[in-house]
């Protein structure tokens, strides 16, 4: 598989804009996190790569990095969008007992 060119999007893929219909608190939270998003993506990616073929769920990545799943789940979505991780097709239970995607790093 040929990897797609890597383009680092902003936090939401909106070129620095947050949707106008979001509540003010959501806008403030998004703006506060934007400087950290790239670093957090890199940390989540490193954790998933470090897990090798076993992969990690977003919750497992959160536990390894001592972050909350609310921080790692969006980073997994962003990393998938960048073509850096992929759904392994496997599922493991998350903290709530629901089936969660096991993410693996895309070779490239």
Distance CA 24, CA 47 (A): 33
> Per-residue b/e over 88-103, b at no fewer than 16 CB within 10 Å?
beeeeebeeeeebbbb
Residues 40-69 have pLDDT tens digits of 999 999 999 999 999 999 999 999 999 999
In a domain, 14, yes or no: no
Strand ranges inside 1-108, DSSP E? 85-93, 99-105
In a domain, 12, yes or no: no
Residues 70-105 have pLDDT tens digits of 999 999 999 999 999 999 999 999 989 999 999 999
Closest CA to 45 of 18, 6, 91: 6
Asked if 41 and 75 count as a contact pair (C-beta separation under 8 A), the reply is yes
Looking at residue 81, which CATH number applies to its domain? 1.10.10.10
In a domain, 73, yes or no: yes
| Residue 74, domain extent | 35-105
Number of domains in the chain: 1
């Amino acid at each position: 598989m040929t990897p797609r060119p890597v383009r680092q999007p902003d936090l939401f893929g909106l070129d620095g804009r947050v949707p106008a219909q979001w509540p003010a608190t959501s806008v403030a939270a998004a703006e506060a996190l934007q400087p950290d998003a790239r670093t957090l993506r890199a940390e989540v990616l490193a954790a998933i790569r470090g897990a090798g073929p076993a992969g990690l769920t977003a919750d497992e990545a959160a536990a390894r990095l001592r972050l909350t799943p609310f921080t790692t789940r969006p980073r997994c979505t962003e990393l998938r969008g960048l073509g850096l991780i992929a759904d392994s097709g496997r599922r493991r239970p998350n903290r709530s007992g629901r089936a969660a995607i096991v993410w693996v790093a895309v070779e490239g």
